[in-house]
Amino acid sequence: MNVNESNINLTTAEIGIPWPDLDHVDLAVIRALQVDGRVSMAGMAKSLGMSVTTIHQRYERLRQRGLVRATALIDPTLVGRDVVAHVEAYVRTEVHAAAEHLAALPEVAWLAIGADLRTVYLQVSTGSHADLAVLLDSRVRQAPGIAGIRSSVLLRNWSPVFCFGGFAPAGVAGDTLWRPGTKPLRALDEADLALLHCLEQDARMTITAMSAETGLSVPATRQRLVKLLSEKVVRLRTRPSPMAREVTVARLFIDVDADSATVAQSIAALPNISYVSESTGDSALTSELVCASESQIREGYERACHLPGVTAVRMIRYHQTVVYKGHW
């Protein structure tokens, strides 16, 4: 869709369509988790002035519905995965068999089957560009039924605090650039890396469980975790799971005629956006909409189209999300 900026009639300040069936208690729980993804049930109950039982029941209901999932965002460069790429694999035969084969690759962090039932979309991360080339040529391209592939390397990534119904907590919403594409400011030791691995598996893993997993004492585990969070080595996000039955997902490919970083930040401010990436592909930016309804998908698409600097937006839909590890 080509965009005429003179016809802009939507702004990022407008409130998006709310998520259905969420009352003020649900939204209060979500808001607390967005501020601190590891906050305890007791901590939430105290800050919200509600009973622990009420908070626990609401949290479990949201979690079981897939409407909240705690994700630990870690710059993959810190853990030896310097190169992140999106791949489109075109399938000539049974798409589900090809998707199952590709999903088993350890480099795959996310995979979905396109609505056309002929394309598998995946995100991979490797230690180097050479490793990426080997992965694409020797394993992705050679997978059963693959007719061809197209790939793009991700340069920088924004992951906003997810806006349920258009809100994000003050002081958190602007903290979106988490993968700057530069070398880490400091090297991490083996204990730090072990803690990051725990968070990748379960962002709400208890200190006691982390201590048992890493072999560190409980005080040392807590101290190191506080430091990793305060230095923003890891960022915690709470968002709906794209694998949930009540969630629908679309990807946006966005062409721009302005600085891509500036446009990326504008997109990250929209409701229902889970990430924005600058890439080397055909489009300067890719983004994901995670929504509760077709109207939200339509609204998100229209808002993206009318942002200053955006010249065209192409949207694809998914038939099924197969792999969602929650990290990069």
Domains of the chain, first to last: 23-66 (1.10.10.10), 77-162+241-324 (3.30.70.920), 186-230 (1.10.10)
Q: What is the pLDDT of residue 312?
A: 97
Mean pLDDT confidence for 290-299: 91
Q: What is the pLDDT of residue 327?
A: 82
Mean pLDDT confidence for 58-81: 93
pTM (predicted TM-score)? 0.88
| % of the chain at pLDDT higher than 70 | 91
Cβ within 8 Å of residue 68, ≥6 positions away: 29, 30, 33, 59, 62, 238, 239, 240
Torsion from C-alpha of 229, 111, 107, 326, nearest 10 degrees = 10
Q: What is the pLDDT of residue 71?
A: 92
Q: What is the pLDDT of residue 1?
A: 38
User: Model confidence at 173, in pLDDT bands (50, 70, 90)?
Assistant: low
With a cut of 50, say whether residue 175 has pLDDT above it. Answer: yes
**Cα→Cα distances 96→144, 200, 228, 243, 281, Å:** 11, 27, 39, 16, 25
